[in-house]
Amino acid sequence: MKPLITEDERQRLLAHGQARADGQAIDPLPVVRLFTPDAHLTWLLASLDSADGDTAYGLIDLGLGMPELGTVKLSDLASIVGPRKLPVMRDRYFQAARPLSEYARLAQENGGIVD
């Protein structure tokens, strides 16, 4: 099974996670966008807990019109498949255009993650 994130993305997520753990008030650009191609689930991840290396923080959109900031385990995402048995995938072309808080604000206004 292919990893959900690249090593470079892991290092950037961990750096943001360490900054959060150190109490820094950061609002980073999301590092990675994960999605299910057949179930309309999307995760914009901005940090990774350096203590366990598995718990990610970001914007979670389960396709129900109520996106929210929260945590998710990468190991849990790796086990998810959609109705056509397609796994969670990494958007290889994702380039964050705004800080996580702005994605969250727009998602809450629009009922889902935009762009």
The DSSP 8-state label assigned to residue 42 in this structure reads E
Total domain count, the chain:
1
pLDDT of residue 115: 74
- Is pTM beyond 0.85? Reply is yes
Residue 115 belongs to a domain:
no
Phi then psi for residue 59, to 5 deg, are -95, 125
Residue 1 belongs to a domain:
no
Residue 86 belongs to a domain:
yes
Spans of the chain below 70 pLDDT: 1-2
Domain that holds residue 46: 7-110
pLDDT of residue 43: 97
Residue 42 belongs to a domain:
yes
pLDDT of residue 3: 83
Residue 73 belongs to a domain:
yes
Residue 78 belongs to a domain:
yes
